[in-house]
Amino acid sequence: MLLSDHILFLDGEALVVDKPEGLPVDPPRDGSLSLENHLDSLRFGFKRWPLAVHRLDRDTSGCLLLARNPKAHGRFTRAFEGREVEKQYLAIIDGVPDGDGGTIDLPLAKTSTAETGWRMVVDPNGKPSVSHWEKLAVVDGRALLRFRPETGRTHQLRVHALEGLGLPIAGDPVYGNGRGKDRTLLHAERLVVKRDVKPSIIAEAPFPARFAALGFSPPEGAAPTRG
């Protein structure tokens, strides 16, 4: 697998890749492959390796923004922190939520125990966390949802699905019923970053084949499944 074949956007200061599920952004402790092992192939003539601006969980596929120089990295990072980036995700939920859509506003905080390790939990004293959602389709007792998070907290959509909708994202081993080789069915489908002078960065990742294998079709306006 070559990430250089998964480019969704590329110009002089930014690139967006369609990150495959199973590929961690940060090097894991077990020494397995991560984004870092692909950075040399993503230089495209530049001397520096590009720098990841944000993070996607190992299981999450889709749009991942990298900056091609430190100044751009700073600008893009501030855009994420200032809630100036438009993000859309697709998720398959274990169950069918009531209603066709809504907003989940639940602050999140990190907790850790010796028995279970760390996880994110709803905490009134936690950081503000807001996600908008809409139901797109239902197949075999599962729903395909589109999330538009305003904030970018760690595991935000995974916790909001469980605590806000009462239903976990399918395959989630921490907040849901995922076991063994299951992967969390979450996909970063669209990313838009506005820039002052240059045109906006707009990237759309193809509908995941793993979603299609469960009987779901690309929603209207979505990029088709990668062939």
Positions marked catalytic: 57
List all residues 6 or more positions away from 201 whose beta carbon is below 8 Å from its beta carbon: 9, 11, 14, 16, 65, 191, 192, 193, 195
Burial of 1 (0-12, 13-18, 19+ CB in 10 A): exposed
Could you tell me if 18 and 61 are in contact, meaning their C-beta atoms sit under 8 angstroms apart? yes
- Token code pair at residue 183: 């992967």
| CA dihedral (24, 29, 32, 35) positive or negative | positive
b/e sequence 51-69, b meaning 16+ C-beta within 10 Å: bbbbebbbbbbbbbbbbbe
Instruction: Specify the pairing of strand 186-193 against strand 61-67.
Output: parallel
**Burial of 126: CB neighbours in 10 Å, binned 0-12, 13-18, 19+:** middle
Among residues 75, 76, 81, 79, the alpha carbon closest in space to that of 65 is found at 76
